[in-house]
Chain A
């Protein structure tokens, strides 16, 4: 592994992380022992086919779900034995989420969708500044139904970064978008990583996106299969799929 990674502070750390859950009548072993570290300021892309466990991993890192066994730490905080209240505080102050289906609140405008997060954050930027960051200054008062898919996803990103999170966790952020729109969204993520230094993890099944990352982590069958350093990050504009 290259030096720049090891010299940095470890943000997330997992050891023998497993997760089993029951869906309908089926018991799913989503994670079967994941060992992983994420470092401050890096942009990591986690690649994997559907069912590889990447979303589950991201959810556990973000405090949206809890591990069945193993160790998960955010800096000094143990996330496995954290209480519901601890996890809520963790999400409120440290994590920004971007989901595949945007998950905007349809009854709130773009500005209000961001404000709903800045309201409860400690040191947020203004909703306007966050939306400016994603290039949506002109769409502040539009409702989700009046925005295109790419715009909605950019609102979701603005919402995620407006609280100045330590980490930004993105689950298939381009999954529901065409490639041109998707690349614009990735550019926004890249800019935020550069400008704010936010540790960013993007999960996707699209290998091309790995080319813009500092590191690429491949997951398969609930385990880390391979970790690749990428010394030459490509700007998103040069990606194509």
Chain B
């Protein structure tokens, strides 16, 4: 092996601490990129494959009832490819051994056959046999939640009649990748399930023989979705159609898209920040390591090695570190991405998770880190080779020092010599000190970025569940119900307070922007449902007009005083114009609010409610649920603390796991940077420190010079880290705003303390490791050799 290569290997071994630290910075940057991009890719690829292989429909429509013959008219609409009519029915289920109320959605499949659209993926068992009216396929997460398998039985109340069902299979559908119960935000697999049954049997049970109440369509390539939807609406208007929608408004698709959008943002923002910071640090760190080799560069030049040889030598040195760090980053990133994708698979159900490493992302990661590292190397090597070797081999000329203003002050005159050395070193090497400070500050900012969401999410959930959702139980009715139902509920066991609300599904349009949501009609000052203004203080509903969630107002581009087009998606469809009265700030959900009686008037109905919020006494809960369950018209019962728990789990599983990994990476980077900084400061000062030792300074006094300098830089870096970290957090926050929830841009003192604490801990550890070297400092040899 060429001696230069041997030198390379031994240099790497000698500088293993620093090389490893630089490798960690690369690995962390690469890992974040691989993790974010691969997770995103795994989910979108799985989605695309499932949609494609199981013919996910493109247009969806609910209606009251239409004869099967209408299907032919739908198929004749220009641009329509396939039509699949269905019967859908909300049902109550009873699962043996599970006491809580369970809601279900029954969807028909052609007798004993796969539907043309939204085909089922059967994990276990078979489709219901043709002609059987008691067999169902149940959704996989529901089966898992209750340990159900083909051959097991459950009971369903279909249109008021109790029916015993046999499970023939367990499956998944592209229509229910995100399996959400009505009015839920998060899947609750134990309390909501989807079941598929033969069309003839379900039609018969629902009094829908030869008719359908739901239809899905696929489009020909190049067809205009909006035109098809308009045509479908025109045809179905006669049959109680409430407006067809595209995939954008299909629940599962919408949530999946939102999540993918969020991941897409994370896959841009986080790696950009992490790799950007890593690249900057690499540049600085690599440059410093090479600069300590200045005399060796000169010596090799003296022997007649030319600049190309030297560039190659140090390029290889850097290349080895980049390759090792990059490989580690890829391995960690792939491992974490797979774990992350599996967590997502808990919420988004695919037949299989398609997982791959994309070569172009690998290449990107390597190019960025190698580029940054080589740039740093290049700067340092070219600076070293520019000097004539005779000069480079000399110890550098004594640098120009001056007494600073600090020393000239009254306080300064009393400083001891080591402290003067610290001050002069810092003031002489302003750029180097600044670079160190920026480097440490940036790693501190990553710590802040990685940690702020933990506290911010806590804040969000506190806001939502202490100030907004103040009820214990949420009851929804199957249909709008007269207000007097409230009195019945108030009389139930354990109910201490009941408040009704009216929820109306609407399609809001303003200019070219639109959004599907519900208008919630509530008391002017609801006792159980807080409405918060911008400063999170309770506000009240105006007697007329809409209050919009701030996010929704932004989305629609409306301001108080503007008028919205409101299309009612219930009963007799009508389009009205309603004025926006103001906005409210809510972290979760995208709703519009109105005084309940005003909404009733708008709907042209009497005082009706669609659901009730209850304050309850937990001691009577079981009794209460039994009674509620027996009550007619009750479609769903939700316990708010359940919902809160699910929400915490969901955010904890997805966002916070991702952030936890980032935090770990940020911690590694911080330590790597601080340690490297300290090592280089030590290498640069070793001769000076040895001289001081020879002159009779104690070990402590000598250490102080190093510790003092590093401490000053570290302390200056902390506020910089806060500042930059706040900027990063703001960037991420803005980018991650989504329909389901919006993490408030709140950085608590705890996050700042965490960032500062991380940097200080890394500094302390690094100094302890350097202290070992200080103890072993060989005074004589450090003075004798020129290096």
Chain A residues with CB under 8 Å of chain B are 21, 23-25, 56, 59, 62, 64-66, 84-85, 88-93, 95, 97, 99, 101, 103, 105-108, 112-113, 115-117, 119-121, 159, 176
Contacts and interface: CB of A to CB of B under 8 A. Distances in A.
A52 B300 CA distance: 27
A113 to B, nearest CB: 8
B391 A108 contact: no
Contacts of A113: 3
Nearest to B9: A107
Contacts of A97: 302-303
A120 B305 contact: yes
Interface string B475-512: 00000000000000000000000000000000000000
A158 to B, nearest CB: 13
Given A115-B3, A116-B4, A119-B3, A107 B303 contact: no
Contacts of B304: 88-93, 95, 117, 120-121
B412 interface: no
8 contacts: A25-B400, A64-B393, A89-B306, A93-B304, A105-B7, A107-B10, A116-B7, A120-B305
Contacts of B399: 24
Contacts of B7: 105, 107-108, 112, 116
Contacts of A105: 7, 296, 299
Interface in B398-441: 398-400
A64 B299 contact: no
A115 B300 CA distance: 12
Contacts of A106: 787
A100 B684 CA distance: 22
Contact of A112 (B6, B11, B295, B390): B6
B395 to A, nearest CB: 10
Contacts of A25: 400
Contacts of A107: 6-7, 10-11, 13-14
B397 interface: yes
A169 B787 CA distance: 21
Nearest to A114: B3
Nearest to B300: A116
B6 A108 contact: yes
B3 A24 contact: no
B390 A64 contact: yes
Contacts of B363: none
Contacts of B10: 107-108
A92 B303 contact: yes
The secondary structure that dominates the B interface is helix
A66 B388 CA distance: 8
The 6 closest A-B CB pairs, nearest first, are A92-B304, A107-B10, A64-B390, A59-B390, A65-B390, A91-B304
Interface of B: 2-4, 6-7, 10-11, 13-14, 295-296, 299-307, 309, 388-391, 393, 397-400, 784-787
Nearest to A25: B400
A115 B389 CA distance: 20
A112 B3 CA distance: 6
Given A65-B391, A108-B6, A176-B784, 4 more contacts: A101-B784, A103-B299, A107-B13, A112-B6
A24 B302 contact: no
Given A24-B400, A64-B389, A108-B3, A88 B784 contact: no
B398 A24 contact: yes
Nearest to A159: B303
Contacts of A89: 304, 306
Most-contacted residue by chain B among A88, A89, A90, A121 (CB, 10 A): A88
B400 A103 contact: no
Contacts of B295: 103
Contacts of B301: 88, 91
Contact of B397 (A23, A103, A117): A23
A165 B656 CA distance: 67
A60 to B, nearest CB: 8
Contacts of A117: 303-304
Contacts of A56: 390
A91 B388 contact: no
Nearest to B386: A84
A102 to B, nearest CB: 8
Given A65-B388, A65-B391, A66-B388, A24 B397 contact: yes
A62 B305 CA distance: 14
Nearest to A58: B390
Nearest to B781: A145
A88 B303 CA distance: 8
A156 B309 CA distance: 21
A112 B389 CA distance: 21
A25 B397 CA distance: 10
Nearest to A64: B390
A178 B13 CA distance: 34
A112 B296 CA distance: 15
A68 to B, nearest CB: 12
Contacts of B390: 56, 59, 64-65
A56 B399 CA distance: 21
A89 to B, nearest CB: 7
A85 B306 contact: yes
A151 to B, nearest CB: 14
Contacts of A65: 388-391
Contacts of A95: 304
Given A65-B388, A105-B7, A107-B14, A116 B784 contact: no
Contact of A91 (B2, B6, B302, B400): B302
A130 to B, nearest CB: 13
Contacts of B398: 24
A178 to B, nearest CB: 13
Contact of B785 (A84, A91, A93, A101): A101
Nearest to A94: B304
Nearest to B11: A107
Contacts of B785: 101
Contacts of B391: 21, 65
